[in-house]
Chain A
Amino acid sequence: MKRPSLGAILLGLIPFAATCFSVPLWDRVYPMVLGIPFNFFWLIAWLLLGPLCMWGAYRLEEPRAGRRPQRRRS
């Protein structure tokens, strides 16, 4: 199978870096944002920011995937 492009992979790594590996940096109660503890707020925010990154990846991958149908039929 065709591998995804480097750009799309890098975009996918952003949410991983922000919500997984960096946990010691944001796992705290204060400052509370909108009355919500900071760690909780951070993860909710990335429910919105993650799709933004992946939308970028979608824009990169979709033209590449679209070129394939002719070859598929064989």
Chain B
Amino acid sequence: MSPSVVALAIISAIVAVGSLVGFFARFHHQMDLEQWTVGGRGFGLVLVWLLTAGEIYTTFTFLGASGWAYSRGAPVLYILGYMPLMYVVSFYILPPIWEAGRRHRLQTQADFFQVRYGSTLLAALVALVGVVCLIPYLQIQITGLGIIVEIASYGAIHRTLAMFIAFAIVAAFVFVSGVRGVAWASIVKDALLLFAAVFVGFAVPHLYFGGIGPMFAALARERPAHLVMPGATKDLGHAWYISSVMLTSLGCYMWPQFFAAGYTAKSGRILRRNAVLMPLYGLTMPLMFIVGYCAVLVLPGLSNGDLSLLTLVRKSFPAWFLGMVGGAGALTAMVAAAIQLLTGAMLYAKNLFRPIFAPRMTEPQVETLARIMVLVLTLGAVLSSVYSSLSLVSLLLVGYAGVAQLFPGVVLGLFSRRVTTAGVFAGLAAGLALAAFLMLRGQDPYRGLNAGFIALCLNIAVTGVVSLLTPVRAAGFDEAAPSLAASQSSNGASVT
């Protein structure tokens, strides 16, 4: 058998096993909307852990981090900087978000804005931001799957075709599993990915340099500038590092799928404990950087840094092992894409389409629309993957610049009584406009600062000023508020 057949067969087997686990996990549970999206709010420490880890250790970590270590050098360290800090942020905001979710039976991130600010329009804007920003994130998973299939087939399957295959696999996976199935499929993927990361991370430097220490010694001798910021770039220096770490650590739980993962927990205590422990899971992430650094010396001149990890694995190990690593990566991309699709589709159906265009829709109709949206969103991500040339890390930073703009609305909504609907609206609009303006003009980073972070600062300032100038309407979550259903039937009248 040719090596490409061996590798592809193993990848397919792993993908099939992971899908089956997801498929069987859903069987004991009635699949209504609440189960499909928030797992009935009964997840303990392990499932919440798996769900958040399934989202956070994605194709981005696997291929993107090694890719940036290869192509950019030390600026990749920003990932290692923000990862533990985002859990620090989650420690303070996720338990109260969970509390609000339980009390008002919230299912999506936009529901939170709906109840807290009593504005259907604001909730619809939040849903729109979520859905639009999820597309580059989905694109990361689809592109990643495409890269895996392309390299594992030794170029026999072209990336565009591979991405359409990926589309079919992901959409099918979402239809059969729902959120509980995805969490269980995460177990398979985490075990494989941990094994692959640890093995590759130690074996590759050992193979070519005799260890991690000698590898870094060689790199420090030949390419010393690669190991400190701004590395191989001109404008990703310390100011960029600080502004990017701030933007991503504050913005991470503004991703609608992470936000909604908070609702799946059984208690706030589980979320707090998770926030303490999660960074330990990230201990394997530096190994991905090490593989990327190795590739700088072993495989110079790759056109696309995101290919570095798999190309190095293919060069160094037999085909069956490439299949194992590729399978772990493929399952990772599927799990992450599935959660993103579930979230995006629900946001669109429940908070954007129904309240604005069809207020009379029933819950089963919302569910049908959500399923159709799964297909639409996947197709959108596939098409933009085919036409885009951004690196995986750059794609994620574009998404962050958008979702992070929700931060003031969430945090002030939780902890401040003075913040007003008009203030949040104005701040969000200003932040989004500035982020889009800077990015579309190619001015990211702007004067050495992350463009999304500049937009977030403007957003916070505008939210504060406009809130102080407008009268307080909603009293916040502390007061006894009507449930979400009641507030929506009265078309989002003020919540007091």
List chain A positions with a Cβ less than 8 A from chain B: 1-4, 8-9, 12, 15-16, 19-21, 23-24, 27-29, 32, 34-37, 39-40, 43-44, 46-48, 50-51, 53-55, 57-58, 61-62, 65, 72, 74
Contact = CB atoms under 8 A, between A and B. Distances in A.
B276 A40 contact: no
B88 A54 contact: yes
A24 B238 contact: yes
B448 interface: no
Interface string B79-105: 011011101110110011001100100
A38 to B, nearest CB: 9
Contacts of A27: 74, 228-229, 238, 241
Interface of B: 74, 77, 80-81, 83-85, 87-89, 91-92, 95-96, 99-100, 103, 211-214, 216-217, 220, 224, 227-229, 238, 241-242, 245-246, 249, 268-269, 272-273, 275-277, 279-280, 282-283, 286, 289, 414-415, 476-478, 480
A29 B228 contact: yes
Q: Is the interface of B mostly helix, strand, loop or mixed?
A: helix
B360 to A, nearest CB: 33
B415 A19 contact: no
Given A15-B84, A54-B87, A29 B276 contact: no
Contacts, number: 131
Contacts of B280: 47-48, 51
A8 to B, nearest CB: 8
Given A32-B216, A35-B217, A23 B238 contact: yes
Given A50-B279, A51-B279, A43 B80 contact: yes
Contacts of A34: 213
Contacts of B276: 51, 54-55, 57-58
A8 B275 CA distance: 13
Contact of B91 (A1, A20, A57, A74): A57
B414 A12 contact: no
A1 B273 contact: no
Contact of B227 (A2, A9, A29, A55): A29
Contact of B286 (A40, A58, A61, A74): A40
Contacts of B80: 40, 43-44, 47
A47 B415 contact: no
A12 B242 contact: no
Given A34-B213, A35-B212, A15 B227 contact: no
A18 B318 CA distance: 42
Contacts of B100: 1
Contact of A1 (B217, B238, B478): B478
B212 A12 contact: no
B99 to A, nearest CB: 7
Given A1-B478, A3-B415, A47-B280, A61 B272 contact: yes
Contacts of B277: 51
Given A1-B99, A65-B95, A58 B273 contact: yes
A20 B247 CA distance: 11
A16 B89 CA distance: 10
Contact of B212 (A16, A21, A36): A36
Contacts of B480: 74
Contacts of B241: 20, 23, 27
Contacts of A55: 276
B213 A35 contact: yes
Specify which of A2, A43, A46 lies most central, judged by the most chain B CB atoms within 10 Å of its CB. A43
Contacts of B213: 32, 34-36
A30 B81 CA distance: 19
A54 to B, nearest CB: 4
Given A20-B245, A39-B77, A46 B84 contact: yes
B96 A1 contact: yes
Nearest to A36: B216
Contacts of B476: 1
A25 to B, nearest CB: 10
A11 B88 CA distance: 10
